[in-house]
Chains A and B, each alone.
Chain A
Amino acid sequence: MALILFSIFLWSATGALGWLAYQRRDGSFRSGARDAVREAVFIAPRLLIGVLGAGFIAALLPGDLVSRVLGSESGFPGLLMASGAGLIIPGGPVVAFSVGAAALEAGAGSGQVIAFLTGWLLMSSNRTIIWETPIMGVPFTILRYAISLPFPVVIGGIVTFMT
């Protein structure tokens, strides 16, 4: 139900913006649609290899080991390890989300997977090195990290508690 509402909302918003772009009559509608197609062509192969790869890796991962080290019973050490993995894993969303999905399927706890993803979202080493420190500077990055650091474990812990 929530998903249907979400889809309706998403498509209504898209339709409304398309209408606004069309109303401008300056080619915004067409050039936006062209940008979107270009972006979709970029995304499609990544989504394909990522989703398929996640499925294969999940089948290959040793389930008992994953659930022992990162399962929902692994508690605080598991949350800490998962958060740390989120900070150091190289790569963008295809890598991070497919690793998360594969780990989940192989028996990792949802709290641990959310801790991993929150760690990656807030403090991805890749993005920090390539984008944040060159643009924002090291002091700002340190300040932001200092505030963010405990939260992957906190959010993961709440998810473990709730599921």
Chain B
Amino acid sequence: MTRDQQDPSPESQLVPDGGTARRPGNPKRRMFDPGFFMVLSVSVAGALLVWRRDGAGRMIEISAEGIALIVSIGPKVMAAVLLAAWLRLLLPRDKIGKYLGGRQGVRGMSIAVILGIILPGGPMTAFPLSIALFQAGAGFGVLVAFLTSWLLLGANRTIVWEMAFLDYSLVGLRYALCLPLPFLFGGCAQLFETAFPDTFRKVVRWH
């Protein structure tokens, strides 16, 4: 693993897409990637099958419901994307590293969880950032809390994707139930680090 693999400069991604649009070797995002065409073909095939089985009326009805949903979620998506874009400019990565470096325990984990929630960008931002935090002296527990928070609670993913597809009350319930998990996982990781000091440093080889 070379240094530049760890840090592919994020071109413009603000919201995690996590599909095939981008890879570590090719950080420049493609507008139309295999994943996009896969979803597109499944959707078109689905539309044609509904048309054949239930008639054009049913197909139009389902499309209208979908478009109504997109219109209602649209402004929220735009707000989330704008928020992420300005936040990334106002909160550069080296500042985050300096702020969280050397932090341990519940206090460090709380900051890490908040960072995971607000961090704009996808996996090419979050994973290298967590290594940078570790190198700046953050504990293993803080690292796991940060990544778990980014995975489960990341605000952009939830606002842009999850709220578009699922009922708000269900999204709220999932979010509330997942809220303690980063602390729990971070706590487990910290216990592991305390029980087997240096084992973790040896196995990860990030130095």
Contact = CB atoms under 8 A, between A and B. Distances in A.
B173 A162 contact: yes
A60 B6 CA distance: 43
Interface string A41-84: 01101111111111111011000000000000000000000000
Given A46-B36, A52-B63, A98-B165, A93 B81 contact: no
A55 to B, nearest CB: 4
A86 interface: no
B115 interface: no
B15 to A, nearest CB: 6
Interface in A134-158: 134-137, 139-140, 143-144, 147-148, 151, 155, 158
A45 B38 CA distance: 13
Interface in B125-143: 127-128, 130-131
B80 A124 contact: no
Contact of B203 (A60, A139, A151): A139
Interface in A10-61: 10-11, 13-14, 17-18, 20-21, 24, 28-29, 31-33, 35-36, 38-40, 42-43, 45-57, 59-60
A85 interface: no
A100 B168 CA distance: 14
Given A10-B79, A31-B89, A35-B85, A2 B168 contact: yes
B132 to A, nearest CB: 11
Contact of B39 (A7, A94, A137): A94
B123 interface: yes
A87 interface: no
Main secondary structure of the interface of B (DSSP, over half): helix
Contacts of B70: 47-48, 51
A3 B123 contact: no
Contacts, number: 255
B69 interface: yes
A138 to B, nearest CB: 9
A50 B65 CA distance: 13
A101 B31 CA distance: 24
Contacts of A94: 17, 19, 35, 39, 161
A68 B13 CA distance: 40
Nearest to A98: B165
Given A2-B172, A143-B192, A52 B43 contact: yes
A97 B63 CA distance: 17
Interface string A110-152: 1001100110011010110011101111011001100110010
B36 A32 contact: no
A13 B1 CA distance: 38
A124 B18 contact: yes
Interface in B21-57: 21, 23-24, 29, 31, 35-36, 38-40, 42-43, 46-47, 49-50, 53-54
30 contacts: A10-B159, A14-B83, A17-B90, A21-B86, A28-B89, A32-B85, A32-B86, A39-B85, A42-B17, A43-B15, A43-B77, A46-B17, A47-B70, A48-B70, A51-B69, A57-B46, A91-B20, A92-B17, A92-B19, A94-B17, A94-B19, A127-B123, A132-B123, A134-B1, A135-B6, A137-B1, A147-B188, A147-B189, A151-B181, A155-B178
Given A18-B86, A135-B127, A144-B185, 4 more contacts: A52-B67, A93-B160, A131-B18, A137-B203
